[in-house]
Amino acid sequence: MIDWLQHSTGGLLTLAALSIALLLLLIIRWKVEPFIALIVVGLLVALAAGVPTETLVGSAQKASDSLLEKGFGGILGHITAIIGLGTLLGAILEASGGAQVLTRKLLTLFGDNRAPLAMGLAGLIFGVPVFFDIGIFVLAPLVYVAAKQSGRSIVLYAMPLLAGLSVMHAFMPPHPGPVAAAGLLGVSLGWIIIMALAVAIPSWLVGGVLFSSWIGKRLTVPVPEEMLAAAEKARGEGARDEPPLSLVLGIIAVPLVLILAGTFGSILLPKGSTLLGVFTFFGTPAVALTIAVLLAFWLLGFRRGMTREQVTELSAASLRPVAMILLVVGAGGFFGAVLSATGVGKVLATELSDLGLPVIALSYVISCALRIAQGSATVAIVTTTGIVAPVVADLGYSQPQLALVVMAIASGSIIASHVNDGGFWIVSRYFGLSVKETLQTWTVLETILSVVGFAVAALLSLVV
């Protein structure tokens, strides 16, 4: 039996299937933390596949050469600074009132009749630097105000905002999912940004504009009474000294522009030129985000009255939730390294070639299944990427093609949010929706964003 698992095509595929089943069982049934579950399953798969102990965990003399340390260290060395800096940038933008000034300006610009569109654009723009749940916490009171003033259903205002926050969190760096997938597949964040915009905007238009308008007119949900006090408080805070909108937008744009400049510079500028060196340096994601964070600390923090102690406290508080994300991503990197070492990736590549099934479709289906089964988008992304990374390694994909595979994985990771997803309950609580109403609105919205995102990625993969 062991020999069959280790040396036959059917055995290796069975081993891969059993590993996923065990992973889901540990997370769903026994409530094991995902990063622990990924390590346990990775170790068991390696042992079952006959990976030598020294290769798996190293020796006293060469522990750094082990799959365990290479799997963790390889991906964390790539993404830790990016995710940490991105988190700091979002925190200072939120604390400075950047989200509120952006939303209020958009509401003023678009007027009462197009307030839902303004909320959607606010989610789309502010969703770049802030985590999904933080975006809800900060902007929900403004949704209450807009809905109360109009007398219309809160669904009409909440769904566009949620769509904007969701697509940015799913597709756009510096959010953990796309950054982790990019690191595992070895694709430039510049190409991830380009493809993220190409996929996120159509998804938002269909889900955040068309569907949200349709469902918002058919499902009447009043502003929750217990949230009105928070809404009034948010309105009162509008009188405080807020940063200029141009400054907020400029700081959000700085890292994106620098990273894209580095990507296009590598294509258009002569190899070895001084100018290319400059573009490459400033376009390195960690450098670009460091510049943006320093600008934000100075222009939105110190110059606007924040003390060093306040900035330090804000930084420490914002980075605390990042630890678990990094542990999950690191464990996912180890799991992927094990699958590669066992030969599962090559077997999958052969089978897919024989079946004619595109890798981008396989990536989406696996990500969808993992998302629906266990609820976490991050776990779905890192696990799926670990499975398909060995497959794409030998296919000679270009950077744009790899970026589209990341988009397919990210699309699958947001499908059908339901009761096993923390985001489902955040949406339900903050917008006063019953479970049935949340399924009718948020769950359907996430599914639309997922399907449209994958469709756009698949279409683009035919021409790049």
| 209 in Cβ contact with 117 (< 8 Å) | yes
Q: What percentage of the chain carries pLDDT values higher than 90? A: 68
> What integer best gives the mean pLDDT of the chain?
90
CB 13 within 8 A of CB 348: yes
pLDDT tier at 70 (50, 70, 90 boundaries)? confident
Taking the C-alpha atoms of residue 35 and residue 40, their distance in angstroms, rounded to an integer, is 9
Average pLDDT over residues 149-169: 96
Query: Is pLDDT larger for residue 129 or for residue 350?
Result: 129
pLDDT tens-digit map of 390-410: 888 878 899 999 999 999 999
Please give the angle made by the CA atoms of 77, 177 and 407, to the nearest 5 degrees.
Answer: 120
Q: Has residue 42 got a pLDDT over 90?
A: yes
List pLDDT tens digits, range 250-309. Answer: 999 999 999 999 999 999 999 999 999 999 999 999 999 999 999 999 999 999 889 999
Q: Output the pLDDT for position 59.
A: 67
Region 203-212 average pLDDT = 98
Whether residue 409 contacts residue 461, with contact meaning beta carbons closer than 8 Å, is answered with: no
State how far the Cα of 1 lies from the Cα of 43, in Å rounded to an integer: 19
Predicted confidence at residue 239, as pLDDT, reads 46
**Between residues 87 and 225, the one the model is more confident about:** 87
Q: Is the dihedral of CA 348, 353, 359, 363 positive or negative?
A: negative
pTM, two decimals, is 0.93
Residue 172 in tokens: 């756009």
Closest C-alpha among 453, 446, 406, 450 to residue 423: 446
Separation CA 219–CA 239 (nearest Å): 33
Which stretches within 172-244 are classed as H helix? Answer: 176-185, 189-204, 212-218, 225-237
Rounded to 10°, the helix 359-374/444-461 angle is 160
Tokens of 368: 């969808």
Q: What is the pLDDT of residues 431-440, one digit of tens each?
A: 999 999 999 9
Q: Lowest-confidence range among 55-59, 60-64, 73-77, 89-93? A: 60-64
Alpha carbons 105 and 149: distance in angstroms, whole number: 16
- The tally of CA atoms less than 13 A away on the side-chain side of residue 451 is 10
What is the mean predicted confidence (pLDDT) over 128-151? 90
Domain ranges (residues) in the chain: 2-461
Is the confidence at residue 91, as pLDDT, over 50?
Answer: yes
Averaged over 359-369, what is the pLDDT? 94
Q: What is the average pLDDT across 141-162?
A: 92
pLDDT at 328: 93
Residue 175, φ and ψ in degrees, nearest 5: -70, 150
Decide if pLDDT at 7 tops 80. no
Q: Is the peptide bond before 400 cis (omega within 30 degrees of 0)?
A: no
